[in-house]
Each structure stands twice: as C-alpha cells, then as structure tokens.
Amino acid sequence: MDPVSRRLLKEWTDIQRDKNKNADILSLAPVDDDNLLAWRSVVRGPAGTGYEGGQFTLDIVVPTQYPIQPPEVKFSTTICHPNINFITGEICLDLLKTAWSPAWTLYSTVVAILLLLQAPEPSSPLNVDAANILRAGDMEGYTSLVRMYTLLLANKRST
C-alpha cells in the first residue's frame, strides 16, 4: 500500500473512532470505497452565526503528494462568505495554500473551515460584496445576508 493510502486510512480510522468530537461535522468520509483521494464532508453551520441551521457540503480532492501538498477543498453548497467564492465554492484560507503542513489532517482542515465561517477575514475576499459589508462595519447587514442565503440554499442536507 502506498504512503498516501496508508495515511488516509489512518485518518479515516481516527475519524470513525472520534465521531462525536465536533458536533458540527456531520460526516467526513471517502466518496466511495474505491477512491481514497475523493472525500466529502457535510458540516452544520456554527451556532450563533448566520449559518446556524444550514448544512453545507465540502468536496475534498486529495493530491497524490498528500500530506506534503494540501487537499483541494471547496464548498459544493452555495454559501455567502467573504472568503468563499459564491460561484465556485473556492475557499481562501492560508492553510490550504502557503500555511499547509503535513501535521494537518482532513479532519483538522474541516475544523479550520468551520472556524473561518465564524471569523471571516474581509481583507482577503473572494466575495467582495460580503467583504464590503463587513468592512463598512455593518455586522447586522452581513448576518442578515448570510442568513438569507443559508435559508434559501442550505436549509436541507445537500449531498
């Protein structure tokens, strides 16, 4: 078995063992048994945010150089967030690019994405409109916008 498959099987075993570690991660698993390089995660919108009550799907593509190279992670559920492209689901997060370390796992990466939902960074936006609302200091407007899109697009499990 190659080192990437070994690492991913270990991560999968750890995820199954610690299923209830983070209640906002509803699932994180390979898409099918024949391909360990394609994963999917369903996360719950964090409580106390405009995403609360929503369920969002993340598609994860693991490179053949994992864990040396980071996985490619993007939202397949449309989500309104300054650091997430509204159309493509691309995520602007340092750990998915320059701050990646082999110490990160797929699980810890999903946790970091959940933290990003709670603490957007409007200075490096992929969604300029959402970032501009935050930059203007209109937290109520931002939360209302996020809530509207969550209710419209993510109020059911999207797989």
Catalytic position from the list 92, 95, 112, 145: 92
CA contacts within 13 A on the Cβ side of 21:
12
Task: Spell out the residues 6+ positions from residue 112 whose beta carbon is closer than 8 angstroms to its own.
Answer: 93, 95, 104
Number of H helices, E strands in the chain: 4, 4
Cβ contact 30:38 at 8 Å: yes
Angle at the Cα of 12 from the Cα atoms of 83 and 157, rounded to 5 degrees? 50
Catalytic (active site) residue 80: no
| Catalytic residue annotation | 92
